Chain A
Amino acid sequence: MNSVQPIKIAILAMGGEGGGVLADWIVDLGESNGYIAQTTSVPGVAQRTGATIYYVEMYPREQAERDGGHPVLALMPLPGDVDVVLASELMEAGRAVQRGLVTPDRTTLVASTHRVYSIAEKIALGDGRADSKNLLAHAQSAARRFVRFDMAQVAEDNGSVISAVLFGALAGTGVLPFSRAQFESTIERGGVGVKASLRAFEAGFTQANAPAAADATPVAAALRPAGTPRDPEVRSLLARIAKDFPPAAQPVLVEGARRLVDYQDPDYAGLYLDRLARIQQLSGGEVQLLTETARHLALWMSYEDTVRVAELKTRASRFERVSSEVHVQQDQLLDINEYMHPRLQEICDTLPAGLGRWLASSGWPRRLVERATRKGRVVTTSSLGGFLLLYTLAGLKRWRRGSLRFQAENQRIETWLDRIAAAAALNPQLATEVAQCQRLVKGYGDTHERGLRNYETLMDAVQRAGARLAPASLRELRDAALADEGGQQLRAALERLSLHAPLKQAA
């Protein structure tokens, strides 16, 4: 019996990513160069962004004619019997490994390392992203050869699509019995977007043979070290950090101070350090408590109010960022429209505390404002009127300390610091967990209210449980609060820990 095997190639992609084009290219490549080729797929609903597999087999026509037979080609891959797996994205590469399509004895795995996050990863209230390192490690250990790089980036750099880069990388691996010229003429025969596809092909081809770069899994931004300030006040702040705080905590404190100088002024950053000095005293050398408090205190003290948003939106650096994000070309014009929805609450918050409180509890003035703010506003920051509006709003910064919101946040921060102090007296680890609960309070409007409500529920539990609350339990509660919007998991966790109390109503 004949022992020549068909070449077997599986393509894992998501609907609309051009996996079909890639499969068609491979078939055309085979058919034009002496192969009998077959491909099939399961489109259906997978076309709508779902994961899907295209499967190609090809067999040398000359061999078949010599043997006087016609090969029987399969319509789906057999685990352990695949020569090449092409994956358009990292999790899809993981899926190929999971399905047993990638085996160390024979499979060349060509995959893009970029991530297209699944819906489950995106809808998390905190961080739901899969562990890319784990995906890479599994792919590495399952494949005979693992060719990988960020093909989305390469495609973008070359003004083309990922399928062309994958095709180039496939050619680059040299696992198929076709020359580079044969690959390229396949693209030319396709006749659509040929130039860009060839550029992307070339880049993919080259990269496939380049030594694997360190895997660029998305990492969080790094803390920036302190530069040399011109302002004497700022200089003394930095000196104070260097003198009074342990070196391990200094990078976070520098970043925190930088944030608060930017947010308000050097005095405000001074207040930040005063508050941290108190924590340092009671931490008993616990650097973790200090750094975590420093991180979260900086975030809390730079709470997002209308003034802050207006300031960030009007900066020149922001205009530049938008311009590059949306790829504005030299001869094009850019308009930026902001979606804002200031409500009575935000307006009262921005006003001087007394005035804000009066308006919030007034009769017809309140109703008037409420009526006027029922709908959201679109502000065109790139237009003169829109810009001046936000610029003026940002100018209210100098009166921020007198605002209603400032007073409320200040109050909450002080209470939180007291709680940290009280917890530290019991257990510094618990205090760290209390500090980290600030993470729950984020966003604007309804989101902010929900976060604040959860935070207060947790603080209430801390208060009532006192010394019997284990740090791990508080961590569990925090994770539960971030598990769903409706608060079911949090309620369940509170019940499990016998800390259940009637949930606080919205503030």
Chain B
Amino acid sequence: MAERSFVEEVKKLRLGAGETFRGEGILAVTKALLESGVAYVAGYQGAPISHLMDVLADAQDILAEQGIRFENSASEATAAATLAASVNYPLRGAVTFKATVGTNVASDALANLASGGVTGGALVVVGEDYGEGSSIMQERSHAFAMKSQIWLLDPRPTLSCIVQAVKQGFELSEASHTPVMLQLRIRACHVHGEFTASDNKRPSFTIGEALDAPQRDVSRIVLPPASFVHEQEKVRERWPAAVKFIEEHALNEFFAEGADDIGIVVQGGNYNTTLRVLERLGFADVYGNSRIPLYCMNVAYPVIDSEVLRFCRGKRAVLMVEEGQPNFIEQNIAAILRNAHVDTALHGKDLLPVAGEYTTAETLKGVRAFLERYGRMQPEPVVAKPPKVIPLKPLAESVSARPPGFCTGCPERPIFTAMKLVERELGEHHVSADIGCHLFSILPPFNLGNTTMGYGLGAAGAAALNTPGAGHKRAISVMGDGGFWHNGLTSGVANAVFNRSDNLTIVVDNSYTSATGGQDILSSTAENRSRSTGHAIERAVRGVGVNWVRTMKRTYDVAGMRDALREALTTKEQGPKVLIAQSECMLNKQRREKPLARKAVAEGKRVVRERFGVDSDTCTGDHSCIRLSGCPSLSVKPNPDPLRSDPVATVLDSCVGCGLCGEVSHAAVLCPSFYKAQITTNPTRWDRLRQRVSRAVIGRLQRRAAARRERYAF
């Protein structure tokens, strides 16, 4: 079950021609796929296109009505390879994943697909996780498009433009027999806006028809000599066909052509920001009417020579607004101008940042510099800042970073708490981390993890760090269940078996790919009506030949986790050790259990809620407990003791009673300040009787003690 349900929103996918669709970018993409007569869709989740997969999962009824095959792919490579269905058949297909990590994984399949070319339209929707909030290395998908010759669309981030790009993407793909990549930046994926819908279209050719009448064309298979022919085809036939289509259908846009002898070339994705900047500088209005000529490249690759020359000829200078590096487009335009002997000055990374996100502020600076250089604006006068009457401390001193961390009650936290405790006994170990929520271990308070090499590659990342039998420490690697099924089983675990590794791999099994939004995977325990779940990780691990396997069924058992870790790190047994740490993702668990508990309470059933607390009069304000946990619900508050100044620990109302606080204070021998409160709603008669009896005795003794204290009170 995914983190977010789109059951309500997917109803919008049934809107017909002329109706107004209002919703999120990714939902609009899904609608556009339906309107394009797509025959199959596949993908692998990951921000920012996780929701696209979730939408598709929630829209399975609609997909089925339209006769569309939908796959939750095992990895991005699987997704990309799925497009093979469009090689021989006029089937329109779309796959989706996040970039550039997804394109990295998929690149083998993408390269093979691009080499042979396609018959049916093949669309790769990539969610570009670049800039603020990104959790991955900062690279461009552009390079993949160039190296494999896949056309790259980068539409304006307005829903109508995105929808149009999807439809034209299929047409372009078919016209040029080339797969097309549609790049959506993170904000565009999540933008809420509106567009006018069209009717959904059933695929004109179905998967069933393909299966019943298989087509084969050896010239489409990547093997010599066909592969050499493909390379020639790419430049002699497919490229010109694409250029022709792009020109004829005006995929790129010219605005205010001829309004001035300077101009700006902008990638579609950066159009809105650039326009806003021009509007703020007084060169455009809010509707996009500009006084500076604009060439908006909704197709980022290939660059259309004729259009570039049409825009640049006769201009003194143009500014290229191209986010990310290397500046592929700027270099390309420079070559076009040079080859055509056009001497228009070309600006780009000289005035705009060479690397990093083109935020509104950075774009404003760059565009302003360009306009100043060509005399369209006066430089801003330097304003002398008035001296401050009351000097304030710099704000930076009071604003600290707020990195993401494990959620309240997260079952992964105790694994790292146990690792910290083992570290106290055995010293520090090399920790090879992986991608997933568990990567938050690299941040305070745990500070565990030396490298991360990619999704599912935690164990592989420790492959070299092995000295079996030499009396050295063992390396520890961490891998999530999502990464395990993505590739970790083979790249990490099987590899460790084959290479006689002696390391420890911890597989964090929380029943979902939680970091991407809680989607189901093979080992999920949840019933899923359209997928096969319940395949235990332990069986897979043993299946590839690991002998030392432990499964901890409750990660909150910190002492148990600590002991298991200690044993794995000190056992004399040779060979890879795999520790499977199981507990359900708390976000998903709460989502499932809270409504049930509410219902039970309403029905008058006995329900016990648990939560933790800290006695502020016994807490001494050292915060060891926080350093071993980092739970958002475990915080601090002013010390109620007038003799002390350090804040005391406190448990916030958001506590879900996972039990970690108690386990930690036991395992690490912290302090007796923690208590667990059990609140019983709708108690039974026996509960009440028991409570009444004990309360009577306890109350009497408490009153006696209070009277003794009262004697001396002042």
Binding site for B on A (CB under 8 A): 1-6, 14-16, 24, 27, 31, 36-53, 59, 64, 67, 69-79, 81, 91, 94-95, 97-98, 100, 116-127, 129-132, 134-135, 137-138, 141, 156, 218-224, 226-231, 233-234, 238, 252, 255-256, 258-259, 261-262, 265-266, 295, 298-299, 304, 308-309, 311-319, 322, 325-329, 331-341, 343, 375-376, 378, 381-384, 387, 391, 394, 439, 442-447, 451, 485
Q: Mark B680-710, 1 if CB is under 8 A from A, else 0.
A: 1111000110010110011101110110010
Chain B, residue nearest A251 (CB): B642
Pick from A230, A315, A447: contact of B622, CB under 8 Å: A447
Contact residues, B454-469 vs A (CB, 8 A)? none
Q: Mark B603-644, 1 if CB is under 8 A from A, else 0.
A: 000000001010101101111101100101011111111111
Q: Which residues in B have their C-beta under 8 angstroms from that of A121? A: 400, 636
Q: Mark B3-34, 1 if CB is under 8 A from A, else 0.
A: 10000000000000000001000000000000
User: In the complex, are the beta carbons of B360 and A118 less than 8 A apart?
Assistant: no
Q: Which residues in A have their C-beta under 8 angstroms from that of B392? A: 134, 137-138, 141
Determine how close the nearest CB of chain B comes to the CB of A236; give it in whole angstroms: 12
What CA separation (Å) do A91 and B396 show in the bound complex?
11
Determine how close the nearest CB of chain B comes to the CB of A397; give it in whole angstroms: 10
Q: Which residues in B have their C-beta under 8 angstroms from that of A258? A: 714
User: In the complex, are the beta carbons of B630 and A119 less than 8 A apart?
Assistant: yes
What CA separation (Å) do A91 and B665 show in the bound complex?
30
User: In the complex, are the beta carbons of A98 and B679 less than 8 A apart?
Assistant: no
Q: Which residues in B have their C-beta under 8 angstroms from that of A77? A: 360
User: In the complex, are the beta carbons of B670 and A224 less than 8 A apart?
Assistant: no
Q: Which segment, of B188-196, B256-264, B305-313, faces chain A?
A: B188-196
Q: Which segment, of B59-67, B87-95, B131-139, B477-485, faces chain A?
A: B131-139
What CA separation (Å) do A223 and B642 show in the bound complex?
5
B671 at the interface (CB under 8 A from A): yes
Q: Which residues in A have their C-beta under 8 angstroms from that of B360? A: 74, 76-79, 81
Q: Mark B637-670, 1 if CB is under 8 A from A, else 0.
A: 1111111111100000100000001100111111
User: In the complex, are the beta carbons of A314 and B705 less than 8 A apart?
Assistant: yes
User: In the complex, are the beta carbons of A259 and B280 less than 8 A apart?
Assistant: no
User: In the complex, are the beta carbons of A78 and B277 less than 8 A apart?
Assistant: yes
Given contacts A5-B286, A335-B678, contact A41 B190 (CB under 8 A): yes
What CA separation (Å) do A118 and B273 show in the bound complex?
32
B225 at the interface (CB under 8 A from A): no
What CA separation (Å) do A126 and B622 show in the bound complex?
6
Chain A, residue nearest B624 (CB): A447
Chain B, residue nearest A382 (CB): B694
User: In the complex, are the beta carbons of B681 and A444 less than 8 A apart?
Assistant: no
Chain B, residue nearest A76 (CB): B360
Q: Please list the 9 inter-chain residue pairs (A to B) with the smallest Cβ-Cβ separation, ordered nearest first.
A: A69-B287, A376-B666, A42-B133, A50-B404, A442-B620, A78-B360, A445-B669, A229-B714, A1-B285
Determine how close the nearest CB of chain B comes to the CB of A399; give it in whole angstroms: 16
Q: Which residues in A have their C-beta under 8 angstroms from that of B111? A: none
What CA separation (Å) do A387 and B693 show in the bound complex?
13
Determine how close the nearest CB of chain A comes to the CB of B184; give it in whole angstroms: 12
User: In the complex, are the beta carbons of A70 and B287 less than 8 A apart?
Assistant: yes
Q: Which residues in A have their C-beta under 8 angstroms from that of B643? A: 252, 255-256, 259, 295, 298-299
Q: Which residues in A have their C-beta under 8 angstroms from that of B276? A: 72, 74, 78
What CA separation (Å) do A55 and B453 show in the bound complex?
33
User: In the complex, are the beta carbons of B713 and A443 less than 8 A apart?
Assistant: no
User: In the complex, are the beta carbons of B671 and A444 less than 8 A apart?
Assistant: yes
Q: Which residues in B have their C-beta under 8 angstroms from that of A47? A: 3, 404
Pick from A72, A234, A314: contact of B286, CB under 8 Å: A72
Pick from A138, A221, A226, A384: contact of B642, CB under 8 Å: A221
Binding site for A on B (CB under 8 A): 3, 22, 47-48, 129, 132-135, 157-158, 186-188, 190-194, 271-273, 275-277, 279-280, 284-289, 359-361, 364, 390, 392-393, 395-407, 437, 440, 443-445, 515, 559, 611, 613, 615, 617-618, 620-624, 626-627, 630, 632, 634-647, 653, 661-662, 665-672, 674-683, 687-688, 691, 693-694, 697-699, 701-703, 705-706, 709, 711-714
Determine how close the nearest CB of chain B comes to the CB of A405; give it in whole angstroms: 15
Given contacts A78-B276, A383-B694, contact A315 B407 (CB under 8 A): no
Q: Which residues in B have their C-beta under 8 angstroms from that of A27? A: 192
User: In the complex, are the beta carbons of A131 and B393 less than 8 A apart?
Assistant: yes
Chain B, residue nearest A218 (CB): B638
User: In the complex, are the beta carbons of A1 and B399 less than 8 A apart?
Assistant: no
Given contacts A40-B190, A75-B157, A336-B677, contact A45 B135 (CB under 8 A): yes
Chain B, residue nearest A230 (CB): B711
Q: Which residues in A have their C-beta under 8 angstroms from that of B637? A: 218
Q: Which residues in A have their C-beta under 8 angstroms from that of B680? A: 332-335
Chain B, residue nearest A130 (CB): B398
Determine how close the nearest CB of chain A comes to the CB of B326; give it in whole angstroms: 24
Given contacts A39-B191, A221-B642, A318-B615, contact A266 B712 (CB under 8 A): yes
User: In the complex, are the beta carbons of A442 and B670 less than 8 A apart?
Assistant: no
Given contacts A309-B672, A339-B674, contact A81 B653 (CB under 8 A): no
User: In the complex, are the beta carbons of B635 and A122 less than 8 A apart?
Assistant: yes
Pick from B191, B440, B698: contact of A387, CB under 8 Å: B698
Q: Which residues in A have their C-beta under 8 angstroms from that of B703? A: 316
- Supplied contacts A229-B713, A255-B643, 14 more A-B pairs, CB within 8 Å: A59-B286, A78-B280, A123-B630, A129-B636, A220-B638, A224-B642, A312-B618, A317-B706, A331-B682, A334-B680, A341-B669, A341-B670, A384-B698, A446-B670
User: In the complex, are the beta carbons of B714 and A451 less than 8 A apart?
Assistant: no
What CA separation (Å) do A127 and B404 show in the bound complex?
22
Pick from A100, A125, A156, A220: contact of B653, CB under 8 Å: A156
Q: Which residues in A have their C-beta under 8 angstroms from that of B641? A: 221
Determine how close the nearest CB of chain A comes to the CB of B48; give it in whole angstroms: 7
Determine how close the nearest CB of chain B comes to the CB of A452; give it in whole angstroms: 12
User: In the complex, are the beta carbons of A48 and B397 less than 8 A apart?
Assistant: no
What CA separation (Å) do A15 and B440 show in the bound complex?
15
What CA separation (Å) do A79 and B191 show in the bound complex?
20
20 intermolecular pairs with C-beta atoms under 8 Å apart: A6-B286, A39-B192, A43-B47, A48-B406, A59-B286, A72-B286, A78-B280, A117-B635, A131-B398, A138-B395, A141-B392, A220-B639, A309-B618, A318-B617, A322-B613, A327-B653, A333-B683, A341-B665, A376-B667, A384-B698
Q: Which residues in B have their C-beta under 8 angstroms from that of A231? A: 711-712
Pick from A72, A91, A261, A295: contact of B272, CB under 8 Å: A72
User: In the complex, are the beta carbons of B642 and A444 less than 8 A apart?
Assistant: no
Determine how close the nearest CB of chain B comes to the CB of A278; give it in whole angstroms: 20
Given contacts A127-B645, A333-B680, A384-B693, contact A443 B671 (CB under 8 A): yes
Q: Which residues in B have their C-beta under 8 angstroms from that of A1? A: 284-285, 289
Q: Which residues in A have their C-beta under 8 angstroms from that of B129? A: 44
What CA separation (Å) do A89 and B644 show in the bound complex?
26
Q: Which residues in B have their C-beta under 8 angstroms from that of A337? A: 662, 675-678
Q: Which residues in B have their C-beta under 8 angstroms from that of A378? A: 662, 676
Determine how close the nearest CB of chain B comes to the CB of A425; give it in whole angstroms: 27
What CA separation (Å) do A149 and B64 show in the bound complex?
51
Determine how close the nearest CB of chain B comes to the CB of A396; give it in whole angstroms: 13
Q: Which residues in A have their C-beta under 8 angstroms from that of B697? A: 384, 387
What CA separation (Å) do A378 and B676 show in the bound complex?
9
Determine how close the nearest CB of chain B comes to the CB of A20; give it in whole angstroms: 9
Chain B, residue nearest A254 (CB): B714
Q: Which residues in A have their C-beta under 8 angstroms from that of B611? A: 326
Determine how close the nearest CB of chain A comes to the CB of B295; give it in whole angstroms: 16
Q: Which residues in A have their C-beta under 8 angstroms from that of B3? A: 47
User: In the complex, are the beta carbons of A134 and B714 less than 8 A apart?
Assistant: no
Chain A, residue nearest B634 (CB): A122
Chain B, residue nearest A31 (CB): B22
Determine how close the nearest CB of chain A comes to the CB of B694; give it in whole angstroms: 4
Q: Which residues in A have their C-beta under 8 angstroms from that of B632? A: 49, 116
Determine how close the nearest CB of chain A comes to the CB of B637; give it in whole angstroms: 7
Chain B, residue nearest A265 (CB): B712
Determine how close the nearest CB of chain B comes to the CB of A311; give it in whole angstroms: 8
What CA separation (Å) do A341 and B668 show in the bound complex?
9
Q: Which residues in B have their C-beta under 8 angstroms from that of A36? A: 194
